[in-house]
Structure 1
Amino acid sequence: MVTHEKVIHLIAGGPKHLIPDSAFSNIGNIEWMGVDRGVSYLLEEGIIPHFAVGDFDSVTDEEWTEITLHIDEISRFRAEKDETDMELAMEWALKQNPTKIKIFGATGGRLDHFMANALMLSHYQKQNVLVKIEMLDLQNAISIYFPGRYQIQTDIQKKYISFIPLTTDVTGLTLTGFKYPLTNHRVPFGSSLCISNELLLETGTFLFENGILMMIRSND
């Protein structure tokens, strides 16, 4: 049985120079979603998003006119709301039954926005284990993992791999095929032990027993 990936590229309004060209690449079965100013980024690239969401407090009157002219499905909310624009976007994206969600434009700029977006990944990944969720920019790829065994491939563009505990205790961490291997190790919250590792082979394996890990793959 052949299964087809359904990928959503979610473009937020962070600094555009940090968004890689791959965010706007029309290769594969991709649907685009714009979040606040990210909608204008898509229109600048000649892409009409399937959906637009946000309070749009960061766009000009001219940009808002362009948005309403080209996009049929828009959800505009008041700036004073309980959910962030990104949370509203993720709720919509997950209702489309994707296999992958790639988030762009969610890093850089304000640190509070970045931290909220990065930690938000844990919430949505836990509730949707069959959907691979990543946050990407020119230099980094961020993803969340829960206890289990995982295999990862070498990425020559992002060779550095860091594992950051998101809970008070990650236990049983084992890294195989890495420059700095570990065996059944306990990594406390706030530890810098697992920063800037590298794969020695084409593939590597990591596994752990308890906790939540954020993996960040980066280049210089």
Structure 2
Amino acid sequence: MRIHIVAGGPTELIPELHDWQAEDVLWVGVDRGVAYLLERNIVPAKAFGDFDSITSEELHKIKAQLPHAEVYPSEKDETDTELAVNWALEQKPALIRIFGGTGGRLDHFLGNIQLLLKGLEKGAVIEIHDIQNQIYALKEGTYSIKKYESLPFISFMPITPDVKGITLKGFKYPLEKKHIRFGDTLCISNELEVESGTFSFDEGILMVIRSRDYHPLS
């Protein structure tokens, strides 16, 4: 099972969700993301949020279609997206993807980046997707990575203060046992020169960002 969480970020940054449909996918809506799903005739299995970013009319429609929607107070200890991620982690899925988690307010975006660490703590993979990027985090180890023409640029950023022994093979800019620190930009915007390369590191937590060129929306 995979769980896809749709948060309330700017809709112009959310990919076409029907492209991510599959029999083993469970959809979860968060705040305005619930309305976004219903507009696309995707009925979420769960709905979370204080729903302070939608109109009373929209909330009435949501409650009518989703009696199980959980309305939380605006003043709480977790963001709406974290509530959804906490529930998703309890289901022990093979993968969690978050859509609608970028753009808009930077505090919410950075909070969503922190949720990647929560996934690692629970042994789960969490990815953040928008129309331009794929983001995920990994603990030390050796990983293979394939070339995607749609996401040609690959960046590696330390989340922990230090990432030690990073090695990149098959990349335009290879590395061998390099030590990078939080704040370094050495590993920004690399590219694969082979169909499948590898990266590894010995210590720390690394965020991987796969991106395409930016094209302003017309």
TM-score, scaled relative to structure 2 = 0.95
CA distance in 2 between counterparts of 1:144 and 1:28 reads 26
Quote the residue 1:7 is aligned against: 2
Residues 1:111 and 2:144 are matched in the alignment: no
| Deviation >2 Å, runs of 4+ | 22-28
Quote the residue 1:168 is aligned against: 161
CA distance in 1 between counterparts of 2:96 and 2:8 reads 16
Residues 1:141 and 2:134 are matched in the alignment: yes
For residue 153 of structure 1, what is the amino acid of its counterpart? K
Q: Deviations over 1:157-194 (max 9, x none)?
A: 11100000111111100001111000000011100100
Quote the residue 2:82 is aligned against: 87
SS at match of 1:146: strand
Residues 1:198 and 2:155 are matched in the alignment: no
SS at match of 2:190: coil
TM-superposed deviation, 1:22: 3.8
Contact 1:24 1:45 in 2 (8 A): no
CA distance in 2 between counterparts of 1:218 and 1:74 reads 34
In structure 1, list runs of 5 or more residues that go unmatched.
Answer: 1-5
In structure 2, list runs of 5 or more residues that go unmatched.
Answer: 214-218
CA distance in 2 between counterparts of 1:154 and 1:95 reads 33
Of 156, 178, 190, which residue of structure 1 is paired with 2:149?
Answer: 156
Quote the residue 2:52 is aligned against: 57
Identical columns (%)? 50
TM-superposed deviation, 1:24: 5.9
After superposing the two structures, state which structure 1 stretch, 193-202 or 20-29, moved more: 20-29
Of 120, 127, 130, which residue of structure 1 is paired with 2:121?
Answer: 127
CA distance in 1 between counterparts of 2:166 and 2:79 reads 33
CA distance in 1 between counterparts of 2:31 and 2:136 reads 23
TM-score, scaled relative to structure 1 = 0.94
Contact 2:160 2:204 in 1 (8 A): yes
Of 12, 20, 28, which residue of structure 2 is paired with 1:17?
Answer: 12
Query: CA RMSD, aligned part only?
Result: 1.1
TM-superposed deviation, 1:121: 1.0
Contact 2:89 2:119 in 1 (8 A): no
Residues 1:184 and 2:177 are matched in the alignment: yes
Quote the residue 2:216 is aligned against: none
TM-superposed deviation, 1:23: 5.8
Q: Deviations over 1:19-46 (max 9, x none)?
A: 0014664223111000000000000001
Quote the residue 1:3 is aligned against: none
